[in-house]
Amino acid sequence: MCLQAFIVLGDQPEGQMTVKRLKDIQGKECIFITYNIPSGIQTEAHPNPGKPFTGLQAESWLPNEQWVYSGVCLRGQKVLKLLKRAFEQKLIFTVAATPGAPDRVVFTDIPHARNFYECSGDDFLGNVTEALKDKFIE
């Protein structure tokens, strides 16, 4: 109604997202993402405000080639742009309370491939795109 953009902000702690372009053993170009969320103190948005949490360094992969999903052509580059927006809006990670251990940073429900073979499935980019759309990232 007010014609302003709707932006969802999550509770992801501060961190960095870096991107490299690599080639797999077959010579296909792929996108390699490294996330670094350092350990810190939980805020009011987390399960145990004022208590420490354990950070995370994680890697993820995207294919750089074109995929067709529900009749729409997707490229890893487009999905990467969406993931960057989601990271800036603090939607990729959250702090989870863990019984008997320090609370820790974990992925939210946006799919990430831990290796190149996980991201090469026909529906991977589509699944990532749908999860981002659920968070108003399009």
Q: pLDDT tens for residues 64-112?
A: 766 545 544 457 888 999 999 999 999 999 999 888 778 999 999 999 9
pLDDT of residue 25: 72
What are the domain boundaries of the chain? Answer: 16-133
pLDDT of residue 1: 55
Compute the chain's Rg from CA coordinates.
16
In tens, the pLDDT along 116-128 reads 788 877 788 889 9
pLDDT of residue 123: 84
pLDDT of residue 74: 56
Q: CATH assignment of 16-133, given 3.40.50.2300, 3.30.300.30, 3.40.50.300, 3.30.390.130?
A: 3.30.390.130
**Contact criterion met (CB below 8 Å) for 44 and 106:** no
Which of these, 6, 112, 128, 121, lies nearest to 56 by C-alpha position? 112
Sign of CA dihedral 60, 66, 69, 72: positive
pLDDT of residue 103: 93
pLDDT above 90 (res 115): no
Query: 2: pLDDT confidence band, cut at 50, 70 and 90?
Result: low
Six-digit token pair at 3? Answer: 């014609």
- CA–CA separation, 116 vs 32, rounded Å? 9
Confidence (pTM): 0.85
